[in-house]
Chain A
């Protein structure tokens, strides 16, 4: 019995907790939903802590000013910071509705704020327990009760745009008037030219400009004032302006009615029986809900069709097979702050056909030898791409074919697939894949100091100028680029052509680009051990070729590079520590202390396709010391820069 009672209590508590969450008021057919998970955010950083930060203090100060001192803390606003706030987009029959929904503990705080900021309280209306106000220009509606506040902004794309100032007739008339004026000006110019024929050419040219201006002005005056044309046109403009204004008012009125109805439906929970939690794609994207923020966009095709359906862009839909390529595509993303990081996850689920092409294009295999050719201790960052050149060259024409094969545009439907076939015939995908396989790695080793010469002047006793060369120290990047390649002979042939054309010089099998003297780094190229190298350090290339380069990379970076389609790593801490402070912009120097002691590293990865899903991840590691967690780090960062 006890167990039953306990279960019932838990069920009720769970139900109540869910009932309070505004998610149940969001309709199932929403196209996009963004969530700020209040409880997770306040767990990391309480409202009190936020109010003590500089940015929080500024907000509270502003709040007190706006409410004439009635509201002295963020809690006075009545917002339930422990519950989730939402944005969602609904697209129905060409009507796009944007909702911003905020949970409230009570409406008193918000009532006060609104009343203080609206001298005319006529704008504020009530209907049952719902209070609302609407903008007279575009019908934006803000409605609230004791539990929630919702802002609705909608647009009906089926309605005409009534804001074009000139009609087609006007443009034609203006063009005609200009032509008449120009003709008259040309006649006058000819007359002037005859009269002034004796004058020097330059003088005539100057006068022509003046005469042209005068004649155009006087012709315009004559056209407008000779008859009642100008008057009639003005009347027509006035009439059209009034018509436009009437249309606009009617449109706003419609928007007001629509927005209010939508706001009420949301607050009253009209969609609770068919809410977004019934949308499988949305629910799947939620995962364990450890996030602080979450965003989801549903089926792209639905949104696209709503946007282009019956619109002037309708033809674009038939231009290529959008549906086939993007059908069922969704994007979802989460932002999660941990104790030592901020993590942004983005998942893109693509259509079957798109996934098939993408899989072949990114079916790369990272060359493990790359890890022997750079040293993590001296590494400031890297960027890797793990694609398949052969796959790209084979699949891209196929993608083009499938995009345009059933195009409504006959020319495109014929020419593009034909072009794709021709391209495939001419390209030897396998041979090109031999030259550059598709796996590449770019590593910034160091930011090194280099002596740069520049020309300035000295002067002898008689102040005759003598050009002299001086040197100064500049900071230049030291990098290496590697790509797997089996085309050593093609590489050597290409390099030899470049040497003959004086674009490069060669020394001991290492080619040097003849970069302009003004470029502060030298770039060398080499083909060795089945790898194509470009690097700024000749010594590094020589050591690699001679097999005595001491490379060393941790398993973590090896994994990042080889297991993902692409990876970008930036060791912010090392970069900042190498930046010579005296060379930084003066304003920036003040902030450098905070950055130097508070910057860690960042990693951006895009995973290989799993099923139809591609996952990207941005991880910004944050220092533990001085920052309770990743979110606090950002608040502290903003505070440091607010001074």
Chain B
């Protein structure tokens, strides 16, 4: 009974008062030969009070709340999938349930290998929901030293978002998507004006608010021209 009382008191306060937001980080360290390492991180630390409360429940707002086991299983499945993907090696994961930060990283022989990780998933999604998402997310042309982050906005994102309840939409208010690409060569130019080139000219940083991405106002699409040196 005490646990229930504690749970519901905490839940009442946190659902009403605690803010919820998250950030997704996509980092690629690219070598000159096109090999590299990608790290994808989901950082929900700022919402940890709310998540800790929500995870005491089976479901909230009609959505099933995944247990720690469910999350661990999903990460394991992702790692198994990566392990089977050609050109992917040295897979590492990091799971922190104290801060709700989860990340997966792996080496790749070429960015094409990274594309193939999600290719099947995106193709299925496009077929099922009649969407038009890119199956190629990254490309690197070794000849002209050009790295591209592809992104094609699809109106279905906004439509799906609009169908959410007002309370659920709030989750995206302070959320962001960050891409960081680091190179061994110097960066000559970037196509996305919102992105920033580091002072040492070897990294490109772009942070887009989730709401801008959902509405299609901003994009993570970027063409990065490197100098051959």
Contacts and interface: CB of A to CB of B under 8 A. Distances in A.
Contacts of A463: 180, 182, 198, 203-205
B112 interface: no
Nearest to B23: A456
B99 A455 contact: yes
Contacts of B198: 461-463
A361 to B, nearest CB: 15
Contact of A454 (B10, B45, B199, B200): B45
Interface in A563-580: 579-580
B46 A472 contact: yes
Contacts of B60: none
B98 A452 contact: no
A642 interface: no
A585 interface: yes
A479 interface: yes
A519 B45 contact: no
A518 interface: yes
A524 to B, nearest CB: 12
Interface in B80-100: 97-100
Contacts of B12: 477
Contacts of A465: 25, 27, 180
A476 interface: yes
Interface string A463-483: 111000000101111010100
Contacts of A477: 9-10, 12-13
A344 interface: no
A444 interface: yes
B166 A447 contact: no
B211 interface: no
A475 B12 CA distance: 11
A481 to B, nearest CB: 6
B164 interface: no
B25 A457 contact: yes
B13 A518 contact: no
Contact of A462 (B1, B167, B202): B202
A587 interface: yes
A110 interface: no
A455 B18 contact: no
Given A463-B180, A476-B10, A518 B17 contact: no
Contacts of B1: 440
A265 interface: no
A521 B203 CA distance: 41
B97 A518 contact: yes
Nearest to A448: B13
B222 interface: no
B143 interface: no
Contact of A475 (B13, B45, B48): B13
Contacts of A475: 13, 17-18
Contacts of B10: 476-477, 519-521
Given A463-B182, A585-B166, A519 B49 contact: yes
Given A442-B5, A462-B198, A534-B2, A474 B27 contact: no
A516 B100 CA distance: 11
A461 B199 contact: yes
A481 B2 contact: yes
Given A383-B5, A463-B198, A518 B180 contact: no
Interface of A: 383, 440, 442, 444, 447, 452, 454-457, 459, 461-465, 472, 474-477, 479, 481, 516-521, 523, 534, 579-580, 583-585, 587
Given A477-B10, A519-B10, 16 more contacts: A440-B1, A452-B49, A455-B43, A456-B23, A459-B180, A472-B46, A474-B14, A475-B18, A477-B9, A479-B5, A479-B9, A518-B51, A518-B99, A520-B18, A580-B17, A583-B19
Top 9 closest pairs, chain A to chain B, by CB: A518-B52, A463-B203, A518-B48, A517-B98, A454-B45, A455-B45, A520-B49, A475-B17, A463-B205
Interface of B: 1-2, 5-6, 9-10, 12-14, 16-19, 23, 25, 27, 43, 45-46, 48-49, 51-53, 97-101, 166-167, 170, 180, 182, 198-200, 202-205
20 contacts: A444-B9, A455-B43, A456-B43, A456-B45, A462-B199, A463-B203, A472-B46, A474-B17, A476-B10, A479-B6, A516-B98, A517-B98, A518-B48, A519-B53, A520-B49, A579-B16, A583-B19, A584-B16, A585-B167, A587-B166
